[in-house]
Amino acid sequence: MRFSSISLNFLNLFLYPVVWLHIMLTRFLGFYKVSCILSKHVIFGEQLRYLYYKSQLNSLGNKVKFSYGVILTDKNISIGDNVRFGVNTTIASCSFGNDVQVAQHCHFLSGRHQHFHHNLSNPQGLVSIRLEDNIWVGCGSIVMSDVGSNSVIGAGSVVTKSIYRDSVVAGVPAKGIK
């Protein structure tokens, strides 16, 4: 009994004000300077993350689940309906269609520029990634290019070139296996 009252006091006196202060500072400082990582132990954590990201992103559909540790590095992100992001996923400038399932520890990088030692002063080419509808992304995958609808990306894959619709890819770099 005593432990639960201490936990509620901790939430009411410390954690909730810290979360709201963080959200307010983010609005004044800009999204790119402060990232919000809410712990899995926060009550209503998924709802708080959803509401926070809804206020920050270009568009956010219904039934979108952000697991704890999801980091969005750009405001130029659009997410469709029924999308789930696993634990510790990083997302740059991307557009997600409907019914996309992303496992944990995935990275969606919007830069495909190769750096050469003699050419370090060139700006990095940032290109928004587009993931269409009904896609599964396996654990630990890195996606740097577009993915067509009804596709599956195997765990640990690195997608460096566009994936056509109805594809199953895996490997480093990702290649069609079906």
CB burial readout 100-132, b (16+ within 10 A) else e: bbbbebbbbbbeeeeeeeeeeeeeeeebebebb
Q: Which residues pair with 91 in a beta bridge?
A: 72, 108
Tokens read off for 170: 């895996």
pLDDT of residue 1: 43
Task: Give the pLDDT of residue 174.
Answer: 92
Q: What angle do CA 129, 48, 101 make, to 5 degrees?
A: 40
Quote the CA–CA distance of 30 and 4 in Å, as a whole number. 36
What confidence score (pLDDT) does residue 39 get?
A: 52
- Can you give the length of the chain in residues? 178
Give residue 161's pLDDT. Answer: 92
Q: Specify the 3-state DSSP secondary structure of 139.
A: coil
Q: Are 145 and 128 in contact (CB under 8 A)?
A: no
Q: What angle do CA 83, 104, 166 make, to 5 degrees?
A: 55
- pLDDT, position 163: 93
Q: Which helix (H) or strand (E) segment is 142 a member of?
A: strand 142-143
User: What does pTM read for this prediction?
Assistant: 0.69
44, 61 contact by CB (below 8 A) = no
Q: Which residues contact 144 (CB under 8 A, 6 or more apart)?
A: 109, 110, 111, 112, 129, 158, 159, 160
- What pLDDT score was predicted for residue 72? 87
Which of these, 42, 174, 56, lies nearest to 106 by C-alpha position? 174
| pLDDT per residue as tens, the chain (178 positions) | 444 445 555 555 555 666 666 666 555 555 444 445 555 554 456 777 788 888 888 899 999 988 878 888 888 899 999 999 998 999 988 999 999 999 999 999 886 555 555 555 555 556 789 999 999 999 999 999 999 999 999 999 999 999 999 999 999 999 998 6
Span between the terminal Cα atoms of the chain, in Å: 56
